């Protein structure tokens, strides 16, 4: 089925460890995003890639890096995990054609705990 | 003050009731999305609106651009509608289709 695939679904890290969250979409979307979701707060944008070859910081980029490997794949890396990065992470993709298309699709989420 | 505010934060209804969830925003927008997040965590896009009204099954979404307000209505509610409903806006000033999200409305429909 077409969509956004995120891996892993669950992860526990120790403080200071590193890891990469993987995201791939097969809808030929141009834009991809990483969000985090914390209790009592709306989804917050970490980084985004408006198109292949570009990445930009969102609201909460500190402690993260991203790579837009190709049009399909957009990975999020935690270089040195901290307990404050315990959250649920969502990858999403979208493509708007003249503002008419609504195509915005989310992955199923990664629940990350840093101890 | 958040750019996107939803009300109520929590809503409990009996099966069959008509439900309304509200979303107000403070920026100029090019589009507004309503999303549904089920207890398992997955997020599904329900509607994208830039004007007027859209209907899909028992769900109706309306938007008033002048008043910077949108509503999501659910007719003949059912326990399977229990979820978090999230409003998100695409600002006229942002690039790359970035969205700003409300905190969500937790809906519980009891049988």
Structure tokens at B55: 């209907």
pLDDT for residue A99 is more than 60? no
Instruction: Kindly list the distances between the CA atom of residue B88 and the CA atoms of A69, A91, B13, in Å, as whole numbers in the listed order.
Output: 27, 16, 23
Tell me, yes or no, if B98 comes closer than 8 A to chain A by beta carbon.
Answer: yes
Contact (CB<8Å) A45/B98: yes
Q: How far apart are CA A6 and CA B41, in angstroms?
A: 13
Q: Are B81 and B107 in contact (CB under 8 A)?
A: yes
Contact (CB<8Å) A50/B95: yes
Which chain B residue has its CA at the smallest distance from A95's CA? B97
User: Buried b vs exposed e over B72-89: b needs ≥16 C-beta within 10 Å?
Assistant: bbbeebeeebbbbbbbbb
Q: Are A110 and A12 in contact (CB under 8 A)?
A: no
**pLDDT band for position B93 (50/70/90)?**
confident
pLDDT for B13-35, tens place per residue?
A: 999 999 999 999 998 888 899 99
Mean pLDDT, chain B, rounded, equals: 91
Contact (CB<8Å) B45/A104: yes
pLDDT for A49-76, tens place per residue?
A: 988 889 999 999 999 999 999 999 999 9
pLDDT for A32-55, tens place per residue?
A: 999 999 988 889 999 999 888 899
Q: How far apart are CA A32 and CA B100, in angstroms?
A: 15
Which chain B residue has its CA at the smallest distance from A40's CA? B103
Q: What is the pLDDT of residue B30?
A: 85
Contact (CB<8Å) A43/B88: yes
Contact (CB<8Å) A33/B41: no
Sequence-ordered strand ranges (E) for A28-83: 31-37, 44-49, 56-57, 64-68, 74-78
Q: Where are the alpha helices (DSSP H) in chain A?
A: none
Instruction: Kindly list the distances between the CA atom of residue A82 and the CA atoms of A33, A46, A78, A85, A89, in Å, as whole numbers in the listed order.
Output: 21, 15, 9, 6, 15
pLDDT for residue B94 is more than 80? no
Question: Would you state the torsion angle of the CA atoms of residues B40, B46, B49, B55, taken in this order, to the nearest 10 degrees?
Answer: -150
Contact (CB<8Å) B100/A105: no
Q: Which residues of chain A make contact with B2, given a CB cutoff of 8 A?
A: 42
* pLDDT above 90 as % of chain B: 73
* pLDDT above 70 as % of chain B: 95
Which chain A residue has its CA at the smallest distance from B103's CA? A42
Q: Which residues of chain A make contact with B96, given a CB cutoff of 8 A?
A: 31, 48-51, 56
């Amino acid at each position: 089925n077409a969509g956004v695939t995120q891996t892993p679904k669950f992860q526990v890290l120790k403080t200071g460890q590193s890891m990469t969250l993987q995201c791939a979409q097969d809808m030929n979307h141009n834009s991809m995003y990483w969000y985090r979701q914390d209790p009592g707060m709306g989804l917050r944008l970490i980084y985004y890639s408006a198109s292949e070859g570009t990445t930009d910081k969102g609201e909460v980029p500190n402690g993260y890096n991203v790579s837009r490997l190709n049009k399909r794949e957009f990975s999020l890396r935690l270089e040195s995990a901290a307990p404050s990065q315990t959250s649920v992470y969502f990858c999403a993709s979208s493509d708007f054609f003249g503002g008419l298309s609504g195509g915005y699709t989310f992955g199923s989420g990664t629940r990350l705990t840093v101890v | 003050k958040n750019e996107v505010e939803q009300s109520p934060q929590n809503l409990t209804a009996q099966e069959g009731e008509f439900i309304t969830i509200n979303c107000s925003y403070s920026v100029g927008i090019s589009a507004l999305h309503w999303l549904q997040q089920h207890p398992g965590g997955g997020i599904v896009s329900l509607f994208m609106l830039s004007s007027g009204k859209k209907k899909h099954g028992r769900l109706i979404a309306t938007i008033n651009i002048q008043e910077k307000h949108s509503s999501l209505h659910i007719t003949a509610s059912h326990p399977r509608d229990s979820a978090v409903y999230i409003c998100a806006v695409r600002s006229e000033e942002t690039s790359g289709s970035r969205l700003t999200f409300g905190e969500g409305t937790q809906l519980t429909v009891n049988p």
